[in-house]
Amino acid sequence: MLGLDVRFLPDAAPQGAGAADVAVADVAVVIDVLRMTTTAAVLLERGMASLTVVAGVDAARAQARSVGALLLGERGGVKLPGFDHGNSPLEFGELDLAARRGVLCTTNGSKAVEASAAARHLLLGAIVNDAAVAARAVALAESGITLVCAGTEGRVALEDALGAACILERVLELEPAAELTDAARLALLALRAAGDPEAGVRGSRHAATLAGLGFDADVAFAARRGALSLVAERVAGPPARFELVGDGLAPRPPTGAPGSAAPR
């Protein structure tokens, strides 16, 4: 039986017992709704060839230099000095990202990715691509799926719990007999109490912080359930490098294959 667990912080202990005591070494989905995993989905959907996630600022700079990648990231919601771009999912609408490589360094999501490095399969999930992430996770899972919430500077983040619940609902549509831990059930209860993802996300503390920085439109976009149909899946690491999986199931042709351009 498939087990489903939620960790409200990356270093939280696994919950439950037996089939529901999901080892993060099976399938892990990192969730940072505001905003890393939402931005990652946008970048890859717009054609970025790969996205490497690095927690340290200096390490991110070195990684970007080594492969000639765009350097993306923030601290405290604000673009880092010397970086090409910040972490807003709406920042890339006019950019040609086809075949480009990116290196992304953020306050919370990057650390959650590093904390989940032991997972056999690692995906990035968000509200905007919940159905596609669920489909890919179910296709990969042998025993269970662990949804790892990034949180905000070591504190539980409501928006990430809601993102986990959105993905859980989609997984349960595919695997109705899956066994949920109490943490997974709690996430679902939070979503039902919120009424809809947008209301819940807008009510989060981090959403208020971003709105104060002028990123209210990012919050609205990040709560658009199912707006995107692609998934970022780890293909190498460390550091974790993610590439795009289409519709949650069909991998994109590898770099250099017919119909794909070489990264620059």
* pTM for this prediction: 0.89
**Does residue 74 belong to any structural domain of this protein?**
yes
**Does residue 171 belong to any structural domain of this protein?**
yes
Q: How far apart are CA 59 and CA 71, in angstroms?
A: 11
**Does residue 261 belong to any structural domain of this protein?**
no
Q: Could you read off the pLDDT of 21-30 as tens digits, one per residue?
A: 444 568 999 9
**Does residue 102 belong to any structural domain of this protein?**
yes
Q: How many residues does the chain have?
A: 264
What is the DSSP code string of 208-228? HHHHHTT-HHHHHHHT-TT--
Burial class (CB in 10 A: 0-12, 13-18, 19+), 6: buried
**AA letter at 226:** G
**Does residue 250 belong to any structural domain of this protein?**
no
pLDDT at position 21: 41
Q: Could you read off the pLDDT of 219-232 as tens digits, one per residue?
A: 999 999 999 999 99
Q: How far apart are CA 192 and CA 147, in angstroms?
A: 18
Q: Which domain holds residue 7?
A: 3-241
- Whichever domain contains 44, its CATH number is 3.90.1560.10
27: which residues sit within 8 A by CB, 6+ positions away? 119, 120, 121, 122, 123, 137, 140, 141, 144, 145, 146
Q: How far apart are CA 75 and CA 92, in angstroms?
A: 19
Average pLDDT score over residue span 190-213 = 96
Q: Could you read off the pLDDT of 163-190 as tens digits, one per residue?
A: 999 999 999 999 999 999 999 999 999 9
Q: Could you read off the pLDDT of 34-65 as tens digits, one per residue?
A: 999 999 999 988 999 999 999 899 999 999 99
**Does residue 251 belong to any structural domain of this protein?**
no
Structural domain tally of the chain? 1
Q: How far apart are CA 20 and CA 14, in angstroms?
A: 9
The confidence band for 78, taking pLDDT boundaries of 50, 70 and 90, is very high
**Does residue 249 belong to any structural domain of this protein?**
no
Q: Could you read off the pLDDT of 130-154 as tens digits, one per residue?
A: 999 999 999 999 999 999 999 999 9
pLDDT at position 245: 74
The confidence band for 19, taking pLDDT boundaries of 50, 70 and 90, is very low
Q: How far apart are CA 105 and CA 6, in angstroms?
A: 23
The confidence band for 93, taking pLDDT boundaries of 50, 70 and 90, is confident
pLDDT at position 246: 59
For tokens 């919370």, the residue is: 108
Q: How far apart are CA 234 and CA 141, in angstroms?
A: 15
| Predicted confidence (pLDDT) at residue 122 exceeds the cutoff of 50 | yes
The confidence band for 15, taking pLDDT boundaries of 50, 70 and 90, is low
What is the DSSP code string of the chain? --EEEEESSTTPPP-SSGGGS--TTSEEEEE-TTTHHHHHHHHHHTT-SEEEE-SSHHHHHHHHHHHT-EEEEEETTEEPTT-SB-S-TTTTTT---TT-EEEEE-SSHHHHHHHTTT-SEEEEE-GGGHHHHHHHHHHH-SSEEEEEE--BTTB--HHHHHHHHHHHHHHHHH-TTPEEPHHHHHHHHHHHHHSSHHHHHHTSHHHHHHHHTT-HHHHHHHT-TT---EEEEEEETTTEEEEEEETTTEEPPPTTSTT-PPP-
**Does residue 105 belong to any structural domain of this protein?**
yes
Q: How far apart are CA 143 and CA 26, in angstroms?
A: 7
